[in-house]
Amino acid sequence: MDLGRRGCQGTPRDFAAWVHFETGVEDPSVPAVLDNLVSAGKFKHHPGFDHEYILASPIEFQTSVRYKVSGELKQSPIQMVRSCMEAFLRSQGTADETLMDISIATTEAMENAVKYSDHSPIEVSYSVENGVFHIMIKNRLSEVRLEKDIEAGKYTSTTTLMRGMMVMVKLFDEMDIEILEEEKLAVFQAHKRIK
């Protein structure tokens, strides 16, 4: 229920991955639990994506949210951030077009955070102040081993990273990525007016 109250929307596999990240336990009963929550009227199938589950009742958020997600792609961190952030933005009355711009740009930022992280948890925070959405994503950086990273597919094209950067620059009003070398930390920050 707690994941649903945070705005998480996803497949049974997504929910199982999130439960595993938060508890350290692989729980094979997650699909059955979701179906029981649907039967009890607490969760429902997403109207646009029947294979995904979402909380049945409206979600109330504070004006700022902070949490950690897995730095492991297999634990669906991008889907978790995207779904929770979209629920938060809807609760703030964000227009659909603006919400989609922020969602696309944040997905690019999260893909980079996961791709270049050392796979430790990634910190995500966002808020709305005076009609402006603010987001910050902090991830620990992995050691760069260029030849091994190229073989692993991290750098499939010289334009891959730049394409993502151009998307983020276009869709956010302002954005910045700071690399703190001594701390091996990347800090992504962006802002967009939503009202």
Least confident of 6-10, 41-45, 121-125, 166-170: 166-170
pLDDT digits (tens, 9 = 90+) for 66-86: 999 999 999 999 999 999 999
Q: Is the pLDDT of residue 149 over 60?
A: no
Report all structural domains of the chain as residue ranges with CATH numbers, in order of start: 1-60 (1.10.10), 62-195 (3.30.565.10)
Percent of the chain residues topping a pLDDT of 90: 80
What pLDDT is recorded for position 15? Answer: 97
For residue 125, the cross-strand partners are 66, 136
pLDDT for 191 beyond 50: yes
The pLDDT tens digits for 132-141 are: 999 999 999 9
Question: Given this model, what pLDDT does residue 159 score?
Answer: 46
Angle made by CA atoms 50, 106, 17, in degrees to the nearest 5: 50
Query: What is the CA angle 186-192-195, rounded to 5?
Result: 150
Question: Once rounded to an integer, what is the mean pLDDT over residues 167-173?
Answer: 92
pLDDT tens-digit readout, 49-62: 889 999 999 999 99
pLDDT in tens, 100-115: 999 999 999 999 999 9
Residue 56 is given by DSSP the state S
pLDDT given at position 147: 57
pLDDT band at 151, cuts 50/70/90? low
Residue 27 tokens read as 């729980």
Q: Residue 83: which region, alpha, beta or left (left: phi > 0; alpha: psi -120 to 50)?
A: alpha
